[in-house]
Every structure is written in structure tokens, then in C-alpha cells.
Chains A and B, each alone.
Chain A
Amino acid sequence: GAGVSQSPRYKVAKRGQDVALRCDPISGHVSLFWYQQALGQGPEFLTYFQNEAQLDKSGLPSDRFFAERPEGSVSTLKIQRTQQEDSAVYLCASSTRTGFGYTFGSGTRLTVV
């Protein structure tokens, strides 16, 4: 596609519910990142994929967070048993390769009530 597509745009979850956030990167982009942006803050790194391999998941805040990219294209970020502190905008970005900059999606705004 022409850009990075994320869905849903908005998600309201009751505390304790599981959620799944989808990212469809630009076709052919090898690298895919997930970032979390709290209100008034810059985005914080969560995890990185190169093709289908998850090479870095050091930014995932707890074992309730899980990400996958099984076929090296679409990625899903799953949050189990959501908590209020999970409320944030979740951004996905993709790139052709190292050093060539990133294209970001519009993000998914998650609100946990």
C-alpha cells in the first residue's frame, strides 16, 4: 500500500480485556517497529521485527504484551488483561532498511476504562 495502515484507529477496552492492534506496513518494507506514546510524551520503543523475526522486544513493558509478524508483512500487537496504564497511542512504523528513515502509521489510540 501507499502508507502504513493501522487499525482500529480508536479502541476502548474495559480493564482486564484483551486487545489486538493491527499494523499493515508498506509493501516490501523489511523492518517493522512498534512504539507506545503516552500523552504529552515522545514515542517509546516497544519491539522490532526484521521480516518475520522479532529481533528486539526489550521495550515491551510486561509479559502481557505480545507482538507477532508471522509472514513478514502484517503485524499484530496484543495486550492481555489490559490495565489503565496501558492507555496510550500505539504507533507502527516500517522501513526498507537501516538508515533510510521510517514511515509511521496514524496510530491506534487505546483507552482502558
Chain B
Amino acid sequence: KQEVTQIPAALSVPEGENLVLNCSFTDSAIYNLQWFRQDPGKGLTSLLLIQSSQREQTSGRLNASLDKSSGRSTLYIAASQPGDSATYLCAVETGANSKLTFGKGITLSVRP
């Protein structure tokens, strides 16, 4: 059974800091890995999608990497801003029915 872990559960940093959010998964037979952002009381916004054949994806200040063999992904946020404060979830797509398995998320707080 696929399990996804995100540690720590919460993180607080000062504005302007570069930071890395980690995600690990137990079964490397994945189609892709997706990073989402969730604001309080809201749905999920897709940030980056990395196919299993890819090593990384970039969008603006965000860069996500994937090491499928070791079951790890990182989300790098450059020059963090208070508006980046949210919960960040990673999810892997696996199996015949392409089910997504999520981690519990990392709640990020960027202090002005």
C-alpha cells in the first residue's frame, strides 16, 4: 500500500528565506507526483506536476524535484513571501485506477 509522508507538519520562516519542503513515498511505481497548495477553507490548487520520467519542474519561484528510485520529492520555494503561507500537499498517482495518495501536508507560515 502506498504511503506518503511529509515532515515536518508545520514550518515558520521569515520573509525572504529560501526553503525546502520534503515528501517521501514508499512505492516507486508511480505515474507522477503532484504538489498542491491549500489555503484555509479552500480546495486544492495544483502547483507542479512531475511525470515519473522527469527529474524536476519549475514554475516561477517554485521548483520541484523527483527522485523516484529513492521515493523522494522536494518543493523549493525561493524568496518566500507572506502570501506563500498555506498548506502544501504532495500526492502520487499510482495503480490501475490512477488513484492519488496524499501526504498530510506541511503548513507553512511566512512571517513579514
Co-complex (A, B): yes
1/0 per position for A46-80, CB-CB distance to B under 8 A?
Answer: 00100000011000000000000000000000000
Number of A-B contacts (CB under 8 A): 66
Please determine whether A99 and B44 come into contact, CB atoms closer than 8 angstroms. Answer: no
Residue of A nearest to B9 (CB): A40
Cβ contact of A99, chosen from B43, B46, B91, B98, cutoff 8 A: B98
Q: A-contacting residues of B (Cβ < 8 Å)?
A: 4, 31-32, 34, 36, 41-46, 49, 51-52, 89, 91, 93, 97-105
**B105 / chain A contacts, CB cutoff of 8 Å:** 42
Q: How large is the interface on A (under 10, 10 to 19, 20 to 34, 35 or more residues)?
A: 20 to 34
Please determine whether A102 and B104 come into contact, CB atoms closer than 8 angstroms. Answer: no
**B36 / chain A contacts, CB cutoff of 8 Å:** 104
**B4 / chain A contacts, CB cutoff of 8 Å:** 42
Chain A at the B interface: SS class: strand
Please determine whether B46 and A102 come into contact, CB atoms closer than 8 angstroms. Answer: yes
A103 to B93, alpha carbons, bound, how many Å? Answer: 13
**B41 / chain A contacts, CB cutoff of 8 Å:** 109
CB distance from A5 to the nearest CB of B (A): 11
**B93 / chain A contacts, CB cutoff of 8 Å:** 98-99, 101-102
A56 to B94, alpha carbons, bound, how many Å? Answer: 13
Residue of B nearest to A42 (CB): B102
